[in-house]
Amino acid sequence: MSKRAYLFPGQGSQSVGMGADLYESVPAARAVMDKANEILGFSLTDIMFGSGVAEDASPSAAEILTQTQNTQPALFVHSMAVFAAMKGRFDAPDMVAGHSLGEYSALCAAGALSFEDALRTVRLRGELMATAGEVRPGSMAAILNMEDADVETLCADVTAEGAGIVQAANYNSPGQIVISGDVDAVARAVALAPERGARRALLLPVSGAFHSPLMDFATEGLGKALAALSINTPSCPVFLNVTAAASTDPETIRQKLVEQLTAPVRWAQTLLAMQEAGATHFVEVGAGKVLSGLVKRTLSRETETSAYGTTADLNA
């Protein structure tokens, strides 16, 4: 029996205007976005849609949306608006996973977190991560066409040199790994990567060293928030970033959400585990089509994927 895996995107998938078409044409999606504005006490939809920001304004609408404290709730709300629009029209998921921030969307979709709790936590997470990036500046880089073990060795060698910490942060697909850490250490790893066999190594335009020990500042505040949160048993298995394994245990989920701040996102391993659990159709729910591409690169170009993020996608 074929199974459907729902995937929820994380930072990097955002774009100005996302969700505007859904807001105008799908009442269920509009209700989610209006509820988010009410909960937060400001218009998140204005940030998502770029409303009222002149083209030559500084900061631009794109820069405002890209601020971590805005990006995270915006992507979460967009995914949940799409998910609401899909209810009753598409089969429910047999399993779920989310990339970094997207793990909160996955947990909400599976009923483990309430929408209000997840939204407030995601907003706090974004604020804490943004502050962590100011307290201890870091950077990230993509390393292409290197084996996982070779990237890990590269990071360990650079860290041992004393330039700072650098580690694998996102195992996105075979041959696509993102590293994260201190600015000088990441720069050193980028410089060395081609000599170690990488086809390409490039710095990424991010505001902090996500999924590395440089995010330690954020763990205490997020941990306190998560400790006070009611987490329910999800309606289907949730594959967790930190372990790439399925869980339905609320306490395991709570613990791994804290660890996720400083631990790598094992996304390629997650997709393989979902396939092993019987997933044959991978459904991306939210902004962009990044995760669908990672499915094709990790599993097979023939793997069945769908991506829903706009009214046109839903009506196709």
Tell me the catalytic residues: 100, 211
Pairing between β-strand 95-98 and β-strand 238-239 as defined by DSSP bridges: parallel
DSSP characters over 94-108:
SEEEESTTHHHHHHH
Q: Is 173 exposed, middle or buried (0-12, 13-18, 19+ CB in 10 A)?
A: middle
Distance between CA atoms of residues 53 and 59, nearest Å = 9
Evaluate whether 244 touches 263 at the Cβ level (below 8 Å): no
Host H or E run for residue 6: strand 3-8
Cα(first)–Cα(last) distance of the chain, in Å? 25
Which residue bears the tokens 């967790």? 240
What is the biggest distance separating any 2 CA atoms in the chain, rounded to whole angstroms? Answer: 56
Which residue bears the tokens 């990071």? 155
Distance between CA atoms of residues 135 and 128, nearest Å = 10
Distance between CA atoms of residues 143 and 127, nearest Å = 27
Strand partners, 204: 140
Pairing between β-strand 166-173 and β-strand 95-98 as defined by DSSP bridges: unpaired
Distance between CA atoms of residues 136 and 217, nearest Å = 9
Q: Do you find a cis peptide bond into 264, omega within 30 degrees of 0?
A: no
